[in-house]
Amino acid sequence: MGTVIAVISGKGGVGKTTATANIGVGIAMNDKKCVVVDFDIGQRNLDMILGLENRVVYDIVQVMDKEASVKQAVIKSKINKNLHFLAASQTKDKSILSSEKVKSLIDELRLNYDYVILDSPAGIESGFEHTIEYADKAIVVVNPEVSSIRDADRAIGILDAKSQKVKDGDDVSKYLIINRIVADMVQSGEMLRSEDILDILNIPLLGKVPEDRGVIDASNQGKPVISNKKSIAGQAYERISKRICGKDIDIRDVESESAGMFKKIAGIFK
Amino acid sequence: MFSWLKKKESASMAKDRLTIAIMSDRESIYELPFMDNLKSEILEVVKKYVSVKAVDIKKEVEGDIEALSIDIQLNS
């Protein structure tokens, strides 16, 4: 039985889909069978980030409506044979989802993969609720910025209220990824430190991802940044994926290590 | 000199503001998804005995104690 992980954020534009794509590739690199599912009905994006937009034939809504089987609808990634992808519907509305349909899809995926990663839509409405309803775990992606953190807390609150696991008296474990950290801004006190964000949200840290221009370059090409060994964000996702697969990898202090030499020198004269 | 001193404080300002905003968010209705049902059921019960205008339920937190405060407004 595989583990179902919902990737959530509350606020849009914080890098949730990028995180999902990279975690999917990263888990596959750890020799685990992984399927990433785009739950953002009506705003399909994960296919672009994974470079699979031209290969989508059937989408998640067609699978839920039994117009196609999971086997027909999943797309095998060229990046790694362990990685499969299920696209969101682009034409339909997210009101199309229902709890029963979502449950039967997730139950089937759980039987066939080690990890099922769900990319949730932004916001805290029905599409989001369906994504988290049957998840075992959640990864919360935030930026070190007030609106993202506040919205994430809201999303965590909804998760704890609507999750089937919680209703059954169990716990959904939640893990935090802090994305787009700018080291020298943290050092100069202009950006929230990870410790502060953890204090506020009170969930364990899964990883810190530094701001990296390579992320946009990677999405331009449809190749997740984790494949770029030189990218600091890619390396961060590699560490995160290993942690998800149960490996004990130290959290790197990206806030103090990545400031450029020039800025370090400039800092002395402040 | 003061300009960068001011800048330095912005992250801690963010933390303080967030802590307060999130505290009040958490007390809001979203933490209690059953609130609407609870309200209408209470309304049904109380209506059997007196004429009720509205029911309002709030979650209140004081230190370690969490309480639901139920406000029933009667028809006068």
What are the tens digits of pLDDT across the range A129-160? 999 999 999 999 999 999 999 999 999 999 99
Task: Report whether pLDDT(A165) > 60.
Answer: yes
Chain A positions touching B4 (Cβ under 8 A) are 188, 270
Cβ-nearest to B18 among A146, A158, A191: A146
CB contact under 8 A, B18 and A200: yes
Question: Which residue is associated with the tokens 């794509």?
Answer: A21
Tell me, yes or no, if A53 comes closer than 8 A to chain B by beta carbon.
no
Residue A100 C-alpha from the chain's centroid: 24
CB contact under 8 A, B9 and A189: yes
Chain A positions touching B8 (Cβ under 8 A) are 188-190
Beta bridge partners of A36: A85, A117
Virtual CA dihedral for A48, A54, A55, A59, nearest 10 degrees?
Answer: 70
pLDDT digit string, tens, across residues A205-243: 999 999 999 999 999 999 999 999 999 999 999 999 999
> Within a 10 A sphere around the Cβ of A202, how many other Cβ atoms?
12
Domains of chain A: 3-268 (3.40.50.300)
What ipTM does this complex have?
Answer: 0.82
The minimum CA-CA distance between B76 and chain A, rounded to whole Å, is 37
Q: What is the pLDDT of residue A266?
A: 55
**Which of A15-29, A59-73, A239-253, B48-62 has the lowest average pLDDT?**
B48-62
Chain B positions touching A124 (Cβ under 8 A) are 30
Task: Report whether pLDDT(A94) > 90.
Answer: no
Cβ-nearest to A157 among B11, B14, B26: B26
